[in-house]
Amino acid sequence: MTEHDSSFTDDAGIDADSTGTAETSTTQAQDAVGRVLARAEARSSGYALFSPGSAQALQRPQERLAGQNHDGDQADLADRQALRRVAGLSTELEDVTEVEYRQLRLENVVLIGVYTQGTLTDAENSLHELAALAETAGAAVLDGLLQRRPNPDPSTYFGKGKAEELAGVVKALGADTVIADSELAPSQRRALEDIVKVKVIDRTAVILDIFSQHAKSREGKAQVELAQLEYLLPRLRGWGDSMSRQAGGQVGGAGAGMGSRGPGETKIELDRRRIHTRMARLRKQIAAMKPAREAKRANRKRNTVPSVAIAGYTNAGKSSLLNRITGAGLLVENALFATLDATVRRTQTTDGREFTFVDTVGFVRSLPTQLVEAFRSTLEEVADADVIVHVVDGSHPDPASQLATVRDVIGEAGARDIPELVVFNKSDLVSESDRIVLRGLEPHSIFVSARTGEGIDEMLRMLDGMLPTPSIEVDVLVPYDRGDLVSQLHEHSTVLSTDYEEGGTHVRALVTPEIESQLLEYSTH
C-alpha cells in the first residue's frame, strides 16, 4: 500500500473507544479499493474490467466473433475505433496548455464515492460501474476512494479533511480529473475543485459525454444536445466577474467606467438566453421527428405486425442477441451505451407469422433525468411493444439491481403491464450454482448465450406463445386480382386451408380484427 492509502477510513472523526471498529473499517475500505484497482492484468489481455471476477464476460468483439460471425462486418465498430491511443506510449509535455491542443488525449482520473447505506460490496460494484463508464468515455482510472458517511458533505461532497487528503492523492498520481459517483451540486463541484486544483465532474457528466460520442442519427444527436444543455443550464453561475458585460459609472480599476458599459445584459444572462433559445429549437426538431416514428408504428399495427422490444441494462448483450436471431449486423462493442438509436428488424415465428424486434438504448443505475426525458422515443418503442424481452447480464455480480433498475424505467414509460420475458444472457459464463441463484430471482426466466446460441430456440418458442395470435375464423373467396390480400393472410394470419377455384382463392384462416375488416366483402357466409 502506498502512503496515501491510509486515507481510506470510514469517517473523518472516530472515537478512541471505537479503534477496533475503525481498524476493521479501514481494512475493508483498503480491500475494496484494491479490488477496484485490480485492472492492469485485465487491460493487458484486452479486457475492460467491469466487475469483480467478470473479465471473461467482457471479451473483445473480435474474440466474440471468432468462428461463425453472427454480428456481420461491424463497419460501424471499425469507424468508431479508427482513432486509438497506443498504451504505454506518451510524449505529453509538462505544460498543460500545449497538451490541451492534442486531438487525442487520455484523461487520468481518480474516482470518489460516498456510500450512505447498503454494504461495502454495493459501493464497490457502483465504483466498478463508474470505472467502466470512465473508460468508455476515454479515461484511464488511476485510483478509487470510498468514504462512508451518513450523508455527502453539503459543501465539498467528501468531508473537508478527506477532501484535503484527496488533493494529495491527485497530486501524487498526476491525475487531471476527479469523478464523483453521484450527481454533484454546482456549489459542491466548485468547492471541491478549489481544494483538489483539478477538474471535478460527476457521474451524469460522464454518461452525457459517452452519449455525445456515440450518437450517430440526427435524432440521437439532437436528444443528446438537449440533455447536455439541460444539465449545463444550472451550472453556469460562478465563473467570476470577468463574465460581466456591465459596469457602473463610478467603477474603479483600469478598463472600467466609460466605454465599458455593456448592452444591459450580463454575459451569464446572455448565455442563459442562448441556451434557452437553443433548447426550444431542439425540442421543436425532436417533436417534428415524432410523426415519422408514429407513422411507422401505425403502419406496423395496421398490418398487424406484433412488436417485441429488447430492453435491459447497458452492456447486457441486447444488440448481440438481436444479431444472433436476425443477422441484423448491429454495432457490437464491449462498452457501455454502444447502442443509442432504436433499431427495428423483422423476423418470423416458427409457424410463419411475422413480428419485429426493436433494439433499444440500455439503462443504467441513476440514469440522469435529462436523458430519460430526451430519449423518450426509445421509451415509446418499449411502451408500444406487445412483449418485452428483458435481457440481464447473467455474469454480472449484482443482477438483482440490474433487474430493479430496468423495471423502474419500464414503469416510468407506462409499460409495466406489458408481458415480460426475462432472459439471462452470457449463460456460457454462468456456473450451475449461479444459475440456481438466478432462477431464484426469476423462476420463469431462461438462459441464453448470444455467442454460443444456447437457449435461443427456447426463447423464440416462448415468444411464439406470448405474442398476440389471430383468433377470428374467416371463410373468404378472394378474387385473383387481389393477390395482395392472400399474401397478407399468409404473412400475418394462421391459414387453415387454401383452394383455388374458378372465382378466386378460397381461404379459411384465423385473423385479427384489423384484417377481418378488409375481408368482409369477400366472405362466403
Query: With helix as H, strand as E and coil as C, how does 271-323 read?
Result: HHHHHHHHHHHHHHHHHHHHHHHHHHHHHHHHCCCCEEEEEEECCCCHHHHHH
What pLDDT score was predicted for residue 326? 83
- Residue 105 CB-half CA count within 13 A: 17
Only one residue has cell 418499449, namely 382
Q: Are 507 and 497 in contact (CB under 8 A)?
A: yes
Q: Which helix (H) or strand (E) holds 509?
A: strand 504-511
Q: Which helix (H) or strand (E) holds 94?
A: none
Dihedrals φ, ψ of 496, to 5°?
Answer: -90, -40
* Nearest of 173, 165, 131 to residue 147 by alpha carbon: 165
DSSP 8-state assignment for residue 104: S
What pLDDT score was predicted for residue 48? 37
Q: Which sign does the torsion angle of CA 64, 69, 75, 78 carry?
A: positive
Q: How far apart are CA 59 and CA 66, in angstroms?
A: 11
Q: Are 356 and 384 in contact (CB under 8 A)?
A: no
Q: Are 336 and 402 in contact (CB under 8 A)?
A: no
405-433 in b/e burial notation, b at 16+ Cβ within 10 A? Answer: bbbebbeebebeebebbbbbbbbbbbeee
Q: Which residues contact 229 (CB under 8 A, 6 or more apart)?
A: 275, 278, 279, 282
Q: How far apart are CA 55 and CA 523, in angstroms?
A: 62
Q: How far apart are CA 48 and CA 62, in angstroms?
A: 14
What pLDDT score was predicted for residue 32? 53
∠ CA 426-143-165, nearest 5°, is 145
Cα dist from 402 to 49, 125, 275, 318, whole Å: 18, 11, 35, 14
Residues of the chain with pLDDT under 70: 1-69, 72-73, 75-105, 237-266, 297, 300-304, 328, 331, 333-335, 338, 340-341, 370, 373-378
Q: Are 210 and 142 in contact (CB under 8 A)?
A: no
Domains, the chain, ordered by start = 3-36+92-212 (3.40.50.11060), 303-466 (3.40.50.300), 472-522 (no CATH)
Q: Are strands 446-447 and 494-501 parallel, antiparallel or unpaired?
A: unpaired
Q: Are 222 and 202 in contact (CB under 8 A)?
A: no
What pLDDT score was predicted for residue 192? 93
Q: Rounded to the nearest 10 degrees, how much is the dihedral formed by the CA atoms of 324, 329, 333, 335?
A: -90
* Nearest of 130, 124, 215 to residue 177 by alpha carbon: 130
Q: How far apart are CA 131 and CA 54, in angstroms?
A: 14
Query: With helix as H, strand as E and coil as C, how does 340-400 read?
Result: CCCEEEEEECCCCCEEEEEECCCECCCCCHHHHHHCHHHHHHHHCCCEEEEEEECCCCCHH
Q: How far apart are CA 218 and CA 285, in angstroms?
A: 10
What pLDDT score was predicted for residue 13? 37
What pLDDT score was predicted for residue 252? 47
What pLDDT score was predicted for residue 18? 41
What pLDDT score was predicted for residue 419? 92
For the chain, the helix, strand and coil percentages under 3-state DSSP, each to the nearest 5: 45, 15, 35
pTM of this prediction?
A: 0.67
370-404 in b/e burial notation, b at 16+ Cβ within 10 A? Answer: bbbebbebbbbbbbbbbbbbbbbbbbbbbbebbbe
Q: How far apart are CA 132 and CA 211, in angstroms?
A: 14
